[in-house]
Amino acid sequence: MNELEISVANKINNWLQGNYDETTKNEIKELLNSNSFVELTDSFYKDLEFGTGGLRGTMGPGSNRINKYTVGTATQGLANYLLKKYPGEKISVAVAYDSRNNSDYFAKITADVFSANGIHVYFFKELRPTPELSFAIRHLGCRSGVMITASHNPKEYNGYKAYGWDGGQFKSPDDQMVMDEVSAIKDINEVKFQPVDQNIEYLSEEIDELYLNKIRAPSVSAEAIQRQHDLKIVFSPIHGTGITLVPAALNRFGFTNVTIVEEQAIPDGNFPTVIYPNPEEKEALSLSIAKALEIDADLVLATDPDADRVGIAVKDDEGEFILLNGNQTGSLLIYYLLNAWEQKGKLTGKEYVVSTIVTSHLIAEIAKSKQVTFYETLTGFKWIGALITELQGKKTFIAGGEESYGYLVGDLVRDKDAVISCAFIAEMAAYYRDRGSSLFQTMLHMYQTYGFYKEKLVSITKKGKTGAEEIKAMMERFRINTPVSLGGSKVICLKDYELGTETDLIHRKSKKLNLPKSDVLQFITEDGYIISARPSGTEPKIKFYCSVKTVLPNVSEFKLKDQELDEKIAGIMLDLAV
């Protein structure tokens, strides 16, 4: 690219001439002087979209970047929504932040703008996990909350997660109302940056104690933990907020043999020991596994920067540590909880579990076998949180999970919670160790009972304006030309969540899907394979969720069947031609 489009050049000039600070203007001028037209275009070709969950993007100057002005605009829009939604009311919000570079700075800007609009701000004075923010919103009776985080994205990213009164992300119609208020701000001078200090109240460790005192309520295996309290656990916060609460949570549950990965214990937004601070990545857990091998540990736990997601590693039957994916951990957790609840006589017919449309259907099979109600939501924990709020007082939520390593046990919060999840994964390990089994052996038994389900996520990155257009074209191609066969199995059903239809491709009959609209396509084959195509809402990616299954007659056949399923997934991706 050798020149700028007129619309981009005009927006750049508006920033250079507008009420923006000199540092920002100088950064823009440096890009202009170096003819960095691609970067300038990506920075200014659109406004960073405030979606249903908030903002996420790379940091830097420009309307399509995370900076003081995009964060300020988002907060002003959210404040305008709150003031219209709750007229005449004394409104309060909670604000927290993670370990990313500039997170504390953006959090302070957020608090300042809220305070300038006459809104009382409960401001965490130090970094804390996302789930604690969700808890604080509910505990303090706030109308909203904001978490400054970009979750597991690379260090160049930051973000802004907005929450409603119930501690969950906004749902319809309020999500659209907030987005409309943010997009209605056309001039940076509309944003009130000057703080009103008396409207900002700093939160102390008292909130930590309140949260930690409540997380044990859903525990069902205290006796097993007492007997297995010395379970060897290795924990890494991967330079994030997990260090503030996960060790304390494990201690509260009664675990006495927890080893912290010291190289990753200090919060650091540069994430110096990993390429990506993502517990889905094997590389991110390499130091944890090395420590586990050194001390002969039983379990490895690692949380992402804002501690709402957790990755785990367990020993196989040969003593080697293997990483479990999000579907395996989520299925195991619900398998454990339903078995433990059943053994304690706690299942009354009013309980339920939840997962999403791209999460393993093994969870549904487990729930069905225990006669526990199973609900399926759209992708994203906001939908699980919304369902918990909807059913509060009517049914008992046991647990929920999604393939992207996010889980929740009990209804203390309304978002995925790695702090609670770490404690219950450890409880699960103690429960099965107390019965002479490992988590790996338990997983094989689960597969033998319900079927061997295997899932794989394939993500394709398409950056910038051209990338977004390519992803859109790819989805349209799949809508128009539905694959006939995937992995050697005939496609018999197409679910189009954007159109809200489920089509029987054999009899050419369609029916309505009972879920909100979302840009997701799902192909279901005659062998029960499920392949979902979904553009990411937070990253420049299109994601393909491949789920295949087979029978596991004997645990000794696990490796053979595992290889067969891998080959099926490889064949599916070839058939998709992406």
- Same domain? For 99 and 196 the reply is yes
| 241-267 average pLDDT score | 98
Q: Give pLDDT, residue 468.
A: 83
Residue 30 belongs to a domain: no
CA distance 467 to 291: 40
Segment 402-427 shows an average pLDDT of: 97
Q: Is residue 178 part of a domain?
A: yes
**Whether residue 183 is found in the same domain as residue 237:** no
Q: Reply yes or no on whether the pLDDT at 518 is more than 70.
A: yes
Same domain, 234 and 140: no
The last residue of one of the domains, among 405, 422, 450, is: 450
pLDDT band at 2 (very low <50, low <70, confident <90, very high): low
Residue 300 inside a domain? The answer is yes
Q: Give percent above pLDDT 70 in the chain.
A: 99
What local confidence, expressed as pLDDT, does residue 511 receive?
94
CATH number at residue 564: 3.30.310
pLDDT at residue number 3: 78
Number of domains in the chain: 3
Confidence at 465, pLDDT banded by 50, 70, 90: confident
Range of the domain at 519: 452-576
Residues 300-321, mean pLDDT to the nearest whole number: 97
Is the bond into 173 cis (omega within 30 degrees of 0)?
yes
Same structural domain for residues 303 and 276?
yes
434 shares a domain with 489: no
Q: pLDDT of 206-218, one tens digit each?
A: 999 999 999 999 9
Cα(70)–Cα(554) distance, rounded to whole angstroms?
56
The reply to whether 98 and 108 lie within a common domain is yes
Q: How far is CA 534 from CA 120, 312, 497, 561, in A?
A: 38, 25, 10, 28
Query: Does the residue 6 lie in any domain?
Result: no
Q: What is the pLDDT of residues 223-244, one digit of tens each?
A: 999 999 999 999 999 999 999 9
- Same domain, yes or no, for 299 and 435? yes
Tell me, what CATH number does 225's domain have? 3.40.120.10
Q: Of 425, 450, 475, which one is at a domain's C-terminal end?
A: 450
What are the two backbone dihedrals, phi and then psi, of residue 4, each rounded to the nearest 5 degrees? -100, 145
Q: What confidence tier does 1 reach under pLDDT thresholds 50, 70, 90?
A: very low
pLDDT given at position 577: 82
In a domain, 80, yes or no: yes
Question: Is residue 477 located within the same domain as residue 568?
Answer: yes
Q: Which of the residues are catalytic?
A: 151
Residues 270 and 129 placed together within one structural domain of the fold: no
Query: Among residues 29, 103, 34, which one has the least CA distance to residue 68?
Result: 103
Please write the tens of the pLDDT for every residue from 538-552. Answer: 667 899 999 999 999
Burial 121-138 (b: 16+ CB within 10 A, else e): bbbbeebbbbbbbbbbbb
How many Å apart are CA 39 and CA 12, to the nearest integer? 12
Any domain includes 24: no
The SS3 of residue 286 is: helix
Q: Which residues pair with residue 511 across a beta bridge?
A: 502
Average pLDDT for residues 465-483, to the nearest whole number? 88
pLDDT at 463: 76
Domain boundary among 150, 180, 209: 209
pTM of the predicted structure, to 2 decimals: 0.94
